[in-house]
Amino acid sequence: AAVMAGKRGALIVLEGMDRAGKTTQCKKLVQALQQSNRPADLITFPDRTTPIGQQISAYLKSDTDFEDHAVHLLFSANRWEMVPLMKRKLEQGVTLVVDRYAFSGVAFSSAKQGFSMDWCRNPEVGLPKPDLVLYLQLSPAEAALRGQFGDERYETSAFQKAVKQNFEQLLKDSSVNWQVIDASQSVEDVHKDITDRSHKAIIRAQSLPLGELWK
């Protein structure tokens, strides 16, 4: 059978602090792309449905404990286990909209005592490289207006402050196509901003090979 010389989909990641609106915007973006006849799928990390993801979910709910390095590697393994599926979809021309990725992995774990960013980045090296990483920027004060912290592990203001500083460090990495979004706007305005940038990234990705992160 003839191989379709199809154009690959784009890998688009949304990152940002707690309550910045990542999940809301990922869903709206997938819907908007599908409605404009661009195949698109949503991927969420952690993916709590796999055996590894169930371990992570139990950890986040404080139902289980893991040694800090071990749980970092679980979050990373949870991404690697999705890579074959992600590559298949991208090759088929499906754009993937990803709710958190390696950047959350690094920003959260390196907020812990004794963890360097370098150590945290290592297991993520070589993952499919996003064509676009949208950082939904929201101040802690504005996040607080959207409700209280949840009761999962990491949802405390001291820890989140360290996470925010780590994200700001990661934003300086010019090997990654970061674009900062003002997440304090209305849901619709943020959505419009994100869809415009995503359409451009999709066009650009069609003529570029998929890269490898931090490699």
The residues binding ligand Z5A (CB under 6 A) are 16, 18-24, 45-46, 60, 75, 100, 104-105, 108, 146-147, 150, 154-155, 186-187, 190
Tell me how far, at minimum, the Cβ of 200 lies from ligand Z5A, in Å.
Answer: 22
Between CA 153 and CA 162, with CA 159 as vertex, the angle to 5 degrees is: 145
CB nearer ligand Z5A, residue 51 or residue 147: 147
CB nearer ligand Z5A, residue 102 or residue 205: 102
CB nearer ligand Z5A, residue 82 or residue 202: 82
The burial class, CB within 10 Å (0-12 / 13-18 / 19+), for 118 is exposed
Task: Please give the Cα distance from 91 to 40 (Å, whole number).
Answer: 12
Task: Please give the Cα distance from 54 to 26 (Å, whole number).
Answer: 22
Tell me how far, at minimum, the Cβ of 5 lies from ligand Z5A, in Å.
Answer: 34
Tell me how far, at minimum, the Cβ of 122 lies from ligand Z5A, in Å.
Answer: 13
Tell me how far, at minimum, the Cβ of 7 lies from ligand Z5A, in Å.
Answer: 28
CB nearer ligand Z5A, residue 22 or residue 121: 22
Backbone angles phi, psi at 123, to 5 degrees: -65, -10
Task: Please give the Cα distance from 21 to 189 (Å, whole number).
Answer: 12
